[in-house]
Amino acid sequence: MRLVTYDRRGHRRLGAILGGEVVDLPDVVGHPAFPTTLEALVASSGGTVMDAARAALERDEASSHVVKQARILPPLFPTSLLTPRAFGIERRIVGPEQDVPWPEGAAWLDYEPKVAAVLGRQTSHTSLEDIRPNIFGYTLVNDWSAHEASGDPLATAEGLPLAIGPCVVTADELDPQTMVMQVTVDGDQIAKGNLNGAAESLYGLISEASRIAVLERGDAFALGPFGGADLDPSRRLWPGALIELAAEGIGTLRNRLAPRP
């Protein structure tokens, strides 16, 4: 399933992609106890709940619950990404089609596109080989860093938001090791590659984290195959740039950099 969060009269609401459109998943299922947010679904993602969702989406009447002009929001707010224990810094978040605020004093920005794995089970002291069954699904993340004209990191770069979205694809429908990611800036392809080894590194990252602390449902960890800009002028981003991170099965995370303040 491709799961999204959309704005329903000012509230976060769980949706699913069906035939290229957003349908309201709780309405499709039709049971009052079914979770109404993606966070709640992940927290209760046992077989019965997920089976009910899949069965409901296969019914003919599911298409009658299409949300017209759905405004897609960040799919979820994983504490493990927004407040990493290693840094103790609270990150902000933007969703698909949202502008990324330009940090005051920045000469240019760098980006690091990643795939994030969202945990669907509590995970503690878990080996790399046993991580995959604990993963609920995958989404895209674009991380940003600000630089001074000299290329040095800007002291306030921690305040830059993470972009997350556009959806979370359940792990049964996506193998990140074979997934191809593509980055375009203002329509020009900048990078394209298969995750392959990076996916194994992502599982290793989660395994290592699980030895330090108990990981909860909804925690997410992200890693990417491309790395940072390393002061390559072709990778520098300027105000107004449109950055699109696309991945097979997940879709496109599209964000524009806002003007200078």
Beta-carbon contacts of residue 172 (< 8 Å; ≥ 6 apart): none
pLDDT at residue 140, as a whole number: 96
> What are the pLDDT tens digits along the chain (261 aa)?
999 999 999 999 999 999 999 999 999 999 999 999 999 999 987 779 999 999 999 999 999 999 999 999 999 999 888 766 555 567 889 999 999 999 989 999 988 899 999 999 999 999 999 999 999 999 999 988 888 888 888 876 456 889 999 999 999 999 888 889 999 999 999 888 887 778 889 999 999 999 999 999 999 999 887 765 555 666 789 999 999 999 988 999 999 999 998
What does each C-alpha distance from 42 to 53, 68, 219 come to in angstroms? 12, 25, 10
What does each C-alpha distance from 95 to 86, 141, 166, 212 come to in angstroms? 24, 10, 7, 30
189 neighbors 246 (Cβ within 8 angstroms): no
Tell me the pTM.
Answer: 0.93
pLDDT at residue 25, as a whole number: 98
| Selection from 250, 248, 259, 222 nearest residue 111 by Cα | 222
Dist. CA 32–CA 26, nearest whole Å? 8
DSSP code at position 240: T
pLDDT at residue 22, as a whole number: 98
